[in-house]
Structure 1
Amino acid sequence: MNATNSGITTRLSIMMFLQFFIWGGWFVTLGTFLGNNINATDGQIAQAFSTQSWGAIIAPFIIGLIADRYFNAEKILGILHLAGAVLMYLMAETTEFEVFYPYVLGYMVLYMPTLALVNSVAFRTMSDPSKQFSRIRVWGTIGWILAGLVISFIFSWDSQESIASGMLKNTFLMTAIASAILGFFSFTLPKTPPSVVKGEKITLKEILGLDALKLLTNKNFAVFFFSSVLICIPLAFYYQNANPFLAEIGVSNPTGKMTIGQISEVLFMLLLPIFLKKYGIKKTLLFGMLAWALRYVLFAFGNSDELVVMLITGIALHGICYDFFFVSGQIYTDSKAGEKFKSSAQGLITLATYGVGMLIGFWVAGQISEFYTVGDVHEWKNIWLLPAGFAVLVFLIFAATFKNEEIHYEEK
């Protein structure tokens, strides 16, 4: 992609904006919707959130067996989002969890592969991704932020009055419209043909990134790998419980306030290279882990009145939580993998974290939330202190067993 080709840049930016507007437009308020609109239990809410993990586990098959071999990425992207729009509409009209679950499972199986597809369309179009991609990807974060602001500050669908009257279903209708728009828009994106040459064989190990398992023979990488899986358990608590928690305790415009986390993510993404250079990979990863524990302690002791600043601070820590562990972890993985296993290693980490780690995390979060519920009221202090303690445990294990090392960057 020529840097001066503003038409292609604009189309790719719109693609990223819609891609993450869609995700932020329903996933943040999913727990609140399920608990109030269809009276789902905490265990059932955990099942619904775990569909993200099943989608992440199944996604490599869709990408490796279909997108990389037979069809243009932009066409598959369009088809998946059009089908997703239908499922979103069906979810909005559902009043029973038994009917809702197959829809959300089907949707996540369709949506999670699109995360790789939008990257594929962008990267294959660019002449210098290291310089061009961040300027386009940031529109995805802006899309997520805007979705939350629309829900809270324009329509107030997440106010206690609107929740009680069932208005949260409109988040699915809004997302269905956005998904349909992106579905049709995808067919106008730059042509992105299959990356695998016709007739070329690709193994199941390559599709799942399992050929990168040999990296686990390196003790340091093995410590990082298993710590990544474990830290996803407390991570799941945030995705699953944060919005219902804020709404239940009476925080105004909870979804809009949660966009502070994405704004923080952009800020700390810019600061990440500075931290990596000054403190090294080990301390940067430890900062990320410790931020998870601190966030949940703030949630445990904050409230919607005079201590609401503690909740806002906890939300604002998202940038450190996510960027300093997951993004720096991707950079570390890339440096350890070598040219041959770069893609496989990233696929393996994604499968282990968003797949296995968060699948366990959502289940654990559901069990703990259900255990600490009296009637319709959650004992949020206990619910948040448990993942805080677990994050500290992972922090201590990682600090004791991971040896700091320098990350070497190739000159572009």
Structure 2
Amino acid sequence: MNVKLRLIIMNFLQFFIWGAWLITVANYWFGTKGWDGADFGAIFSTMGIASIFMPTICGIIADRWINAEKLYGILHVLGGLTLLYVPMIDNPVSFFWVILLAMVFYMPTIALSNSVAYNALKKNGLDVVKDFPPIRVWGTIGFIAAMWITNLSGNKASENQFYIAAVAAVLLGIYSFTLPKCKPQHDVSENKSFVELMGLSSFKLFANYKLALFFIFSMFLGAALQLTNAYGDVYLDDFKLIPQYADSFVVKYSTIIMSISQISETLFILAIPFFLKRYGIKRVMLISMIAWVLRFGLFAYGNPEGGLWMIIASCIVYGMAFDFFNISGSLFIETSTDSKIRSSAQGLFMMMTNGFGAIFGSLVSGYLIDHFFTTSAGKDWHNIWLTFAIYSLVIAIAFAILFKHKHDPNEIKKSISH
């Protein structure tokens, strides 16, 4: 089978697993289970907690001891079996711990999938910057497909969303063992220091001013991503509390409306090579941050009737907000670090975005929403989204001032060729 097709299947299933429940879990939590809202932010913090240590640890293991594709497969099988247990849980505390275990297995697979894909493309003499984005776009298509299946099958608030994710995870785990071999880059027989032996040398990346700033801003942008994942679908569903919007298309198909965000991703992923080569990493990431401001600002003023265009525009802008930082950021790490610690470096990137960023975004937003934007009448979504927009604007201004990077049109191509 063609290597590109094999990687397309991997990416499709990788994000199908997430899309089956990530956007709709709030409807399950608040609607089906009727659990307290103050605890909901903790569910999204599980991704952050797992991402603090698991991507880095698994990156070190893949760099030194086990083929990345084999470790990737083992993690998916274990994650799928854990998701099968989620519907059996009947209290929020146990739900938190089981979801945390599922995320311990899932989160490191995102970075590992990048490592497996980059390695396979290079082995086949392909250009990573040119050929990876069209492959990665199928991950977004997988996410969309899962969202549509969950919504159209009537399961956006049911436990079946976890069964759908579990089956996909086990299938991907089995399939992973057929992927191109991605062997460890280190010779474990070499006489190395403890830091080198454990692969901890990747943490030295924080000594580089530019990379340290990149990782810090990755954390802040990771927080923004968790805000929209956690509250986007339930925000649209809450329009049912307003009589004039109760039977609107937006309420009935909130998950499908949200999937426009992922559809937009597929277009912006394909535009990344052009933008990176023409404008450089700093400008592309800055564009991403401005897009986050628009994402939240448009949500603040949207509604299912006269303001429907704002909701749709917000979902379209999301594609640029997400892709221009996450995908270009992954490529930036790939081209700015030594090959021997590359899997570890990708793990660090995931740790900052989906680790500390997710925890920060989930817990702080949960506290603010519960204490300042929730009344007996419901949540004040207008001011919630405006607050998020202001947060993103402050981050964008700080990044523009602090992150120094001179653009070289050939920089990324040169780095990969080395």
TM range (shorter): 0.7 to 0.9
Q: Which residue of 1 aligns with 2:125?
A: 128
Q: What is the alpha-carbon distance in structure 1 between the residues aligned to residue 236 and residue 87 of structure 2?
A: 22
With over 3 angstroms needed to count, the CA separation of the structure-2 counterparts of 1:19 and 1:207, relative to structure 1, is farther
Q: What is the alpha-carbon distance in structure 2 between the residues aligned to residue 184 and residue 114 of structure 1?
A: 14
> What is the one-letter code of the residue matched to 2:374?
T
With over 3 angstroms needed to count, the CA separation of the structure-2 counterparts of 1:120 and 1:324, relative to structure 1, is closer
Q: Is residue 218–residue 353 contact of structure 2 (8 Å, CA) maintained in 1?
A: yes
Q: Which residue of 2 aligns with 1:156?
A: 154
Does 2:176 match 1:186?
yes
With over 3 angstroms needed to count, the CA separation of the structure-2 counterparts of 1:395 and 1:37, relative to structure 1, is same
Count residues with an aligned counterpart: 395
Mapping 1:5-404, distance limit 5 Å: 5-6=1-2, 8-64=3-59, 66-126=61-121, 127-129=124-126, 130=128, 131-153=130-152, 155-158=153-156, 163=157, 168-200=158-190, 201=192, 203=195, 206-207=199-200, 209-216=202-209, 218=210, 221-250=211-240, 251=250, 252-334=252-334, 336-337=336-337, 345-371=345-371, 372-375=373-376, 377-403=378-404
With over 3 angstroms needed to count, the CA separation of the structure-2 counterparts of 1:18 and 1:347, relative to structure 1, is closer
Q: Is residue 37–residue 95 contact of structure 1 (8 Å, CA) maintained in 2?
A: no
Higher deviation after alignment, 125-134 or 92-101: 125-134
With over 3 angstroms needed to count, the CA separation of the structure-2 counterparts of 1:50 and 1:249, relative to structure 1, is same
Aligned-pair distance for 1:209?
Answer: 2.6
With over 3 angstroms needed to count, the CA separation of the structure-2 counterparts of 1:73 and 1:283, relative to structure 1, is closer
Aligned-pair distance for 1:306?
Answer: 2.3
Q: What is the alpha-carbon distance in structure 1 between the residues aligned to residue 201 and residue 87 of structure 2?
A: 33
Question: Sequence identity of aligned pairs in percent?
Answer: 36
Q: Is residue 43–residue 363 contact of structure 1 (8 Å, CA) maintained in 2?
A: no
Aligned-pair distance for 1:331?
Answer: 4.2
Q: Is residue 20–residue 164 contact of structure 2 (8 Å, CA) maintained in 1?
A: yes
With over 3 angstroms needed to count, the CA separation of the structure-2 counterparts of 1:137 and 1:288, relative to structure 1, is closer
Q: Is residue 23–residue 229 contact of structure 2 (8 Å, CA) maintained in 1?
A: yes
Q: What is the alpha-carbon distance in structure 2 between the residues aligned to residue 183 and residue 318 of structure 1?
A: 29
Which structure carries more relative contact order (alpha carbon 8 Å, separation 6+)?
Answer: 2
Q: Is residue 59–residue 346 contact of structure 2 (8 Å, CA) maintained in 1?
A: no
For 2:35, what is the secondary structure of its paired residue?
coil
Q: What is the alpha-carbon distance in structure 2 between the residues aligned to residue 85 and residue 105 of structure 1?
A: 13
With over 3 angstroms needed to count, the CA separation of the structure-2 counterparts of 1:349 and 1:233, relative to structure 1, is same
Aligned-pair distance for 1:224?
Answer: 4.2
Aligned-pair distance for 1:109?
Answer: 0.3
Aligned-pair distance for 1:25?
Answer: 0.9
Using structure 1 for the length normalisation, give the TM-score: 0.86
For 2:139, what is the secondary structure of its paired residue?
helix
> What is the one-letter code of the residue matched to 1:213?
F
Deviation string for 1:51-77 (max 9, x for gaps)?
111221122354145444443333333
Q: What is the alpha-carbon distance in structure 1 between the residues aligned to residue 44 and residue 115 of structure 2?
A: 26
Aligned-pair distance for 1:314?
Answer: 0.6
Aligned-pair distance for 1:34?
Answer: 1.5
> What is the one-letter code of the residue matched to 1:173?
Y
With over 3 angstroms needed to count, the CA separation of the structure-2 counterparts of 1:281 and 1:183, relative to structure 1, is closer
Deviation string for 1:281-312 (max 9, x for gaps)?
44333221111111111111111222122111
Q: What is the alpha-carbon distance in structure 1 between the residues aligned to residue 333 and residue 62 of structure 2?
A: 24
> What is the one-letter code of the residue matched to 1:210?
F
Unaligned runs of 5+ in 2: 241-249
Aligned-pair distance for 1:193?
Answer: 4.0
With over 3 angstroms needed to count, the CA separation of the structure-2 counterparts of 1:333 and 1:262, relative to structure 1, is same
> What is the one-letter code of the residue matched to 2:155?
W
Unaligned runs of 5+ in 1: none
Give the alignment's Cα RMSD to 1 decimal: 2.7
Q: Is residue 208–residue 348 contact of structure 1 (8 Å, CA) maintained in 2?
A: no
Using structure 2 for the length normalisation, give the TM-score: 0.85
For 2:178, what is the secondary structure of its paired residue?
coil
Aligned-pair distance for 1:225?
Answer: 4.0
Q: What is the alpha-carbon distance in structure 1 between the residues aligned to residue 38 and residue 239 of structure 2?
A: 20
